[in-house]
């Protein structure tokens, strides 16, 4: 019995990487009965007589798992965000960050298409980047698109980590990966078409070794998963609110109308980003008005 990591899944086969070698395996029959599906990124125990034939015996506990793309044990999600074309929105960016926070995945923000904006607009993004960095999010932003400095930063971010890349269609995800791993030769737009194929088409999911780390070969959430949260939990996924919540007068403060709210005080002092708070209120209202979903399929 050997331990390894699933690096690729295709048509019921799982390629498991162990000690520098790939082993083609299948899941044991009782997995289906127990409704267990192995995911790319899973750490597993397996046995194999040859590199072409083997069986996964057990899936070791997961740190986290995503449904789109179906991968497990992801360390970080790079949110590739165009500053123009498609038009930039802090609302979409924040929803993507929340989706990662909910999944227990550390977000990184990478701004693309900076050549399409003038200097004044670029200054706005510099201020925005400073705001997100203050929260604790790594942000990669450079005046020239895909500047060497930005790419070096990005490569350093990928090293020794398992990463999923996400962002709107057209944000430049494939272009970014092509810049640091030209031999991948990802046709721009090809990945997203693969994702939007019919549900039952065979879909290969794999982790590709890039820049000393592993990158899921799909663009991650194409925008964001539908959030099904209790509205009272939403603030738990805003790190800057979490940092202040202990100073609020009431436990369980949702930072809207309560007296003695540390978040609103910090906002009034200009310590927090107004856009983040506005997006929070908007999402809060949305979640409050959501009808509860019963029998939600996991």
H/E run at residue 170:
none
Whether 8 has a binding-site annotation, put simply, is no
Confidence of residue 221 (pLDDT cuts 50, 70, 90): low
Cα gap 253→248, rounded to integer Å: 7
Confidence of residue 225 (pLDDT cuts 50, 70, 90): low
Contact of 263 with 241, CB cutoff 8 Å = yes
Same fold, 2-59 and 76-216: no
Whether 114 has a binding-site annotation, put simply, is yes
Cα gap 14→101, rounded to integer Å: 28
Domain ranges for the chain: 2-59, 76-216, 231-289
Whether 142 has a binding-site annotation, put simply, is no
**Which CATH superfamily, name and number, covers 231-289?**
Probable gtpase engc; domain 3 (1.10.40.50)
Whether 188 has a binding-site annotation, put simply, is no
Q: Name the E strands within the chain.
A: 2-10, 13-18, 21-27, 43-50, 53-59, 76-82, 106-112, 139-140, 162-166, 205-210, 213-216
Mean pLDDT across 118-127: 97
Whether 20 has a binding-site annotation, put simply, is no
Q: Is the pLDDT of residue 29 over 80?
A: yes
Whether 37 has a binding-site annotation, put simply, is no
Q: Which of 53-67, 209-223, 250-264 has the lowest mean pLDDT?
A: 209-223
Q: Which residue has the higher pLDDT, 67 or 164?
A: 164
Architecture of the domain delimited by 76-216: 3-Layer(aba) Sandwich (3.40)
Whether 226 has a binding-site annotation, put simply, is no
Whether 266 has a binding-site annotation, put simply, is no
175-196 pLDDT, tens digit per residue, is: 888 888 877 766 544 444 444 4
- Fold (topology level) of 2-59: OB fold (Dihydrolipoamide Acetyltransferase, E2P) (2.40.50)
Average pLDDT for the chain? 88
Whether 112 has a binding-site annotation, put simply, is yes
Whether 67 has a binding-site annotation, put simply, is no
Which pLDDT score is estimated for 31? Answer: 92
Q: Give the 3-state secondary structure percentages of the chain, helix then strand then coil, rounded to 5.
A: 35, 25, 40
Q: Is the pLDDT of residue 246 over 50?
A: yes
Residue 156 sits at φ, ψ, to 5 deg, of: -65, -35
Mean pLDDT across 7-31: 93
């Amino acid at each position: 019995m050997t331990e390894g990591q699933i690096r690729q899944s295709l048509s019921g086969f799982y390629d498991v990487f162990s000690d520098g070698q790939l082993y083609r395996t299948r899941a044991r029959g009782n997995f289906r009965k127990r409704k267990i599906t192995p995911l790319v990124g899973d750490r597993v125990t397996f046995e194999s007589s040859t590199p072409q034939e083997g069986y996964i015996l057990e899936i070791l506990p997961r740190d986290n798992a995503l449904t789109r793309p179906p991968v497990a044990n992801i360390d970080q999600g790079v949110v590739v965000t165009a500053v123009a074309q498609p038009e930039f929105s802090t609302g979409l960016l924040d929803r993507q960050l929340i989706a990662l926070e909910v999944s227990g995945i550390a977000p990184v923000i990478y701004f693309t298409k900076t050549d399409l904006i003038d200097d004044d607009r670029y200054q706005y993004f510099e201020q925005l980047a400073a705001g997100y960095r203050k929260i604790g999010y790594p942000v990669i932003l450079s005046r020239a698109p895909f500047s060497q400095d930005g790419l070096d930063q990005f490569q350093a971010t990928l090293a020794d980590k398992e990463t999923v890349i996400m962002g709107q269609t057209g944000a430049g995800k494939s272009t970014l990966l092509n810049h640091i791993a030209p031999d991948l030769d990802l046709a721009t737009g090809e990945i997203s078409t693969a994702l939007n194929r019919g549900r039952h088409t065979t879909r290969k999911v794999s982790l590709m070794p890039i820049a000393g780390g592993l990158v899921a070969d799909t663009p991650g959430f194409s925008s964001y998963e539908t959030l099904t949260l209790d509205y009272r939990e939403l603030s738990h996924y805003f790190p800057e609110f979490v940092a202040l919540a202990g100073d609020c007068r009431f436990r369980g403060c949702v930072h809207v109308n309560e007296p003695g709210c540390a978040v609103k005080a910090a906002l009034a002092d200009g310590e927090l980003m107004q856009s983040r708070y506005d997006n929070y209120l908007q999402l809060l209202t949305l979640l409050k008005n959501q009808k509860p979903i019963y029998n939600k399929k996991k």
